[in-house]
Amino acid sequence: MDKEPDVTRVRVEICGENYYIKGSASEEYIKQLAKYVDEKMKLLSELNPRLSRINLAVLAALNIADEYFKLKAEYEEFLEVFGEEKSK
């Protein structure tokens, strides 16, 4: 019997390095997240070939935070408009 039956362990490659990720999500989902981060870092590395791996990772995090914040603002705006429409 497994000690942690709900924990998924996945090996993923991000920007040329292997990472072992543990999480409660599915293997497929964890791989999808890793692919997203990997693509961001590779794109940033193409645009700025002299950046170190640590700077690429921090920039990728900032980049994804930007996408998250923008989507959140859009969603909140939509909920407001939807709320107004519902109350008409």
| Contact between 69 and its own copies per CB under 8 A | yes
- Residue 8 is a binding residue for its own copies (CB under 8 A): no
Q: Judged by CB, which is closer to its own copies: 9, or 53? A: 53
Q: 36 to 65, contacts with its own copies by CB under 8 A?
A: 36-37, 40-41, 53-55, 57-58, 60-62, 64-65
- Residues with Cβ within 8 Å of residue 38, at least 6 apart in sequence: 12, 13, 14, 15
Residues forming contacts to its own copies in the complex (CB under 8 A) are 14, 19, 21, 25, 29, 32-34, 36-37, 40-41, 53-55, 57-58, 60-62, 64-69, 71-72, 74-75, 78-79, 82
